[in-house]
Amino acid sequence: MARRKKLYEGKAKILYEGPEPGTLVQYFKDDATAFNAEKKDVIEGKGVLNNRLSEFFMTGLANIGVPNHFLKRLNMREQLIRQVEIIPLEVIVRNFAAGSICKRLGLEEGTPLPRPIVEFSYKDDALGDPLVPEEYIIAFGWASQQDLDDIVALALRVNDFLTGVMFGVGIKLVDFKIEIGRIWDNDFMRLIVADEISPDSCRLWDIETGQKLDKDVFRRDLGSLTDAYTEVARRLGVLPSNVTHAAKPHVIN
Ligand code: TMP
Ligand code: ASP
């Protein structure tokens, strides 16, 4: 294949021009960052694992009717995705208290929340992705009230799906972050799940032991990140060595 044009390079992924209009190639790097890239490292094999895991979650979501950007895995580190216009928000869903909500409210890590809490951060590295109320999102035109209602509904469906899938392999879904993109079919705009779903963007704890199996292992220097992500992939049956076929492309309708 001819060398593709790089369109965007983020902290963990690169986006290249896709083979057809409306598509992109998403490349998963081994780079890990935390605390707004204050802490950085290269974790051998992380990109390969996240490519597989994001494929697994996005394919499962498509199968239950949650629209998303994933089209097809291309190779160990790359997947074909639909080009979307990313809404500049990190959509976070929390089931148990961990991370920033503990600092903000003085909660003990692991406290069950009264119901899943959906919150939004404004995607801006220079500002440290600040938490923003819906009022800001609507006033600044990042999304409309209708968009936000749709985004919350999508996020809660993703939460139910991921919670069930992870529970099935003995893992508690504490919280996660997704990003949402807009696509247009002629004049009709739709919102779909985009970016990635992987242990980089979730908190995953072993149900029995509480062992952390997500990026907190890196953030807090708790051991080998590759071992943690490999364990998640192994339990889900998506270790590269187990997979002998490429995922079938699916069409969003
Ligand atoms: P937080 O507790 O630090 O706000 O994180 C909530 C969830 O969002 C957690 O699963 C990690 C994920 N997350 C990202 O994916 N990217 C980020 O930049 C941040 C801050 C959190
Ligand atoms: N993704 C953010 C960073 O790279 C923060 C985090 O995930 O902890 O700095």
Average pLDDT of the chain to the nearest whole number: 94
Question: In the chain, where are the structural domains located?
Answer: 6-84+225-245, 85-206
Q: Predicted confidence band at 240 (pLDDT cuts at 50, 70, 90)?
A: low
Span of 34-38, 146-150, 217-221, 248-252 with lowest mean pLDDT: 248-252
Cβ of 179 less than 6 Å from ligand 1: no
Cβ of 37 less than 6 Å from ligand 2: yes
Question: What is the 3 CA–ligand 1 centroid distance (Å)?
Answer: 33
Q: What is the mean pLDDT of residues 115-129?
A: 97
Ligand 2: residue of 30, 33, 101 to mutate (most ligand atoms within 8 A of CB) is 33
Which tens digits make up the pLDDT trace of 179-196? 999 999 889 999 999 999
Dihedral, CA of residue 243, residue 175, residue 100 and residue 130, to nearest 10:
80
* Closest atom of ligand 1 to CA, residue 102: 2
Q: What pTM, to 2 d.p., does this model score?
A: 0.94
pLDDT at res. 3: 72
Q: What is the mean pLDDT of residues 222-230?
A: 98
CATH of domain 85-206: 3.30.470.20
Ligand showing the shortest atom-to-Cα distance for residue 176: 1
Q: Predicted confidence band at 248 (pLDDT cuts at 50, 70, 90)?
A: very low
CATH architecture designation of domain 6-84+225-245: 2-Layer Sandwich (3.30)
